[in-house]
Structure 1
Amino acid sequence: MRPMLATRGTTVPTGAAWLHEVKWDGMRVLVRVAGGRLQLFSRNENDVTIAYPELAGLVEALGDHEVLLDGEVVAFAGGVPSFSALADRMHVRQPARARSLAESNPVTLIVFDLLELDGEDFTGRPLSQRRTALEGLGLAGPHWQVPATYDDGAMLLEATAAQGLEGVVSKKRSSAYHPGRRSKDWLKFPHRASGSYVVGGWRVETGSTTRIGAVLVGVPAEGGLLYRGRVGSGIAGRSGQQLLELLRPLETDGSPFVDEVPRVDAQGTTWLRPEVVVEIAALNVTSGGRLRQPAYLGVREDLDPADLTEPGEGADAG
């Protein structure tokens, strides 16, 4: 199963028909607890349980209940959710390394929906009923929580901006849960221009013959990628080395971009098969579709290029 997704909104809705939640800057997951076992699945249905050992206690916290939950894995930096902090956790597949990082850089599971409870399918029930049942599970622990909802979306949007949070998601209380679908019953209002893009090429760092200095990114289009720009900021040190290790096996002779890449960007670029998705923050997008002042945040191992159904669409809370 894949999670239900939100549509980008223009104006935060008002009235009793809607509730509003904080939009979390993390990795969307579906969480199954059954038979005394915890499993976490990313948006592209990969099992990522091994990366987050600190969540194992959720089995005991649920007692005899078996559930399927929808939520977000979040890592905090300076008290604020940070995708950059989470990126260090997402790629880990070695249990010992995961346990070490769980101590130094722990995550929190933010649970905001209940899809199954003790063998009963809740997806056809209205959100208001799903939330009541979810809150009744008493999930408040050292690494998991059920966040509050709010009646005043405009107030929440203003408060999240002041606190440096990612934004707001507004949901109809009557909405059913539609797995894998993007719905206007859920609307998202992010504060910053951050999204996911596919890497189509890489360039060496100035003065080096081996270190990565920049990547060329785009969004999926028929036959390849549409070019969105060159990203160099944020690619350094260990994160840059980890990225290069992922890209090296994908090197190829031809450009994956279906439109023209400016010569200044194409010169010296090593082209890649478009398979790696990365998260990019940018000031905004120019009228020509180029990212302004982009910065690399990390690899989105929870996403495949096929998951990017909208330009720059990430794996956020909807």
Structure 2
Amino acid sequence: MLFTPIKPMLLATGKEVKDNTDTIFDIKWDGWRTIIHKEGDRVEAFTREGNNITSKFPELIEVGQSIKEHTAIIDAEGVVLRNGNSVFEDFSYRGSLSNKDKIEQATKTHPATFIAFDILATNNPVMKYPLFERKEMLSSIIKPSNSMIVTPSVEGYGTHVFQLTKDKNMEGIVGKRRDSLYKINHRSKDWLKYKHFKIANTVILGFSEQPFSLLVGTRLSNGKYKRLANIEFGFSREEKMAFRQIAKQLIIKNERNITWIEPVLNCKVQYLEKTKTGLLRIASFKGFCLENNIEKQTS
């Protein structure tokens, strides 16, 4: 188990946050899920897909010093923090680097922090311990540093934490049953995620069929259109059929796997956040609309 890829326990999607004394609520950080392995001075980090990313993050040396146990496997989120908020793009940039000089420079411009929220093992596996005991164990073995901290947790008061993260423009929260066990490679309703999504009015620029998706964008002040997202999720069968009937009358051209149409159809898109270049992250379809108040932005 030690220094081998582990598929972590995954979150299900919650519908409505409710206060519950049987639930522990954590902040949901926006980065890469990272499993950290330590034995003595050796520290390695793996993504949820099993990729070893140790060489990309020199900060892991300090992470090893923050973990007071000789042996440990810790579930964490790798993030780059800006004013207390995690910035997904910045951590993804770190993960894309392979040149040693660029990695070293990025430790200064995009310093990584690994935010621990669970523990799978010390000298022995602890996954069968209830969550509240694992949380206590985790806090007892982590000495906070610039490179590793333990995520704050609150028992019971989920609505307060959810509103607080919304006010601070954070991703959302996670609610976990306080007695839940850790189950590798398992998506459990014992762990629920609640995200702060936003809605944008967009114009449909084109579509693809394999798989079905809409290319949506916005009209700029100069009259040109800018792509915002490629939407693959959220459609009903009836919505797809209705769109195809209308779109076949609006086709401008076919290009590779995209069919471009006249930009006259509008739809609502749910998204988590905008990237630095204005693209919509984690976007899904929320329905067609007749309004023409398309969100404008400059390039």
TM over 0.5: yes
Quick check: 1:193–1:281 contact (8 Å CA) kept in 2? no
Higher normalized contact order (CA 8 Å, seq sep 6+, divided by chain length): 1
Which residue number in structure 2 is paired with residue 147 of structure 1? 151
| Equivalent pair of 1:74/1:86 in contact (CA under 8 Å) | yes
Q: How does 1:62-81 map to 2 (within 5 A)?
A: 62-81=67-86
Contiguous gaps of at least 5 residues in structure 2: 1-5, 200-204, 220-242, 259-274, 289-293
The 1:217/1:144 distance shift into structure 2, 3 A limit, reads: farther
> By how many angstroms is 1:216 displaced?
7.6
In 2, Cα distance between equivalents of 1:283 and 1:112: 26
CA distance 1:113–1:266, shift in 2 (3 Å): farther
2:26 pairs with 16, 21, 27, which one? 21
The residue aligned with 1:46 is 51
Q: Distance in 2 between matches of 1:182 and 1:129?
A: 21
Q: Which residue of 2 aligns with 1:157?
A: 162
**Quick one: structure 1 residues 232 and 97, their matched pair in 2 at CA, closer, same or farther if it must change by over 3 Å?**
farther
TM-score (norm 2): 0.69
Alignment correspondent of 1:226: 212
Query: Which stretch of the first structure deviates more once superposed, 30-39 or 16-25?
Result: 30-39
The match for 2:95 is: 90
Q: Deviations over 1:145-200 (max 9, x none)?
A: 00221121000001000011110100001100111111100111000269xxxxxx
2:63 to 23, 39, 58: 58
8 A contact 2:39–2:72 mirrored in 1: yes
Q: Do the aligned partners of 1:40 and 1:48 also contact (CA within 8 Å) in 2?
A: yes
Stretches (4+) displaced over 6 A: 214-218, 263-266
Query: Given that residues 20 and 149 in structure 1 are in contact (C-alpha distance below 8 angstroms), is that contact kept between their aligned partners in structure 2?
Result: yes
Instruction: Indicate conservation of the 8 Å contact 2:28/2:171, yes or no.
Output: yes
* C-alpha separation in 1, matches of 2:144 and 2:189: 30
Residue in 2 that maps onto 1:298: none
1:59 match: secondary structure: helix
Identity, % of aligned positions: 23
1:68-127 Cα offsets, whole Å, 9 max, x none, are 110101112343211122221121122222111011111111000000112x11111110
Structure with greater Cα Rg: 2
Instruction: Work out the CA distance in 1 between the residues paired with 2:97 and 2:207.
Output: 25
For residue 117 of structure 1, the aligned residue among 117, 122, 126 is: 122
2:131 maps to amino acid: L
Higher strand proportion: 2
CA distance 1:34–1:232, change in 2 (3 Å): farther
Contact 1:215–1:231 (8 Å) recurs in 2: no
Q: Figure out how many residues of one structure are paired with residues of the other and give that number.
A: 236
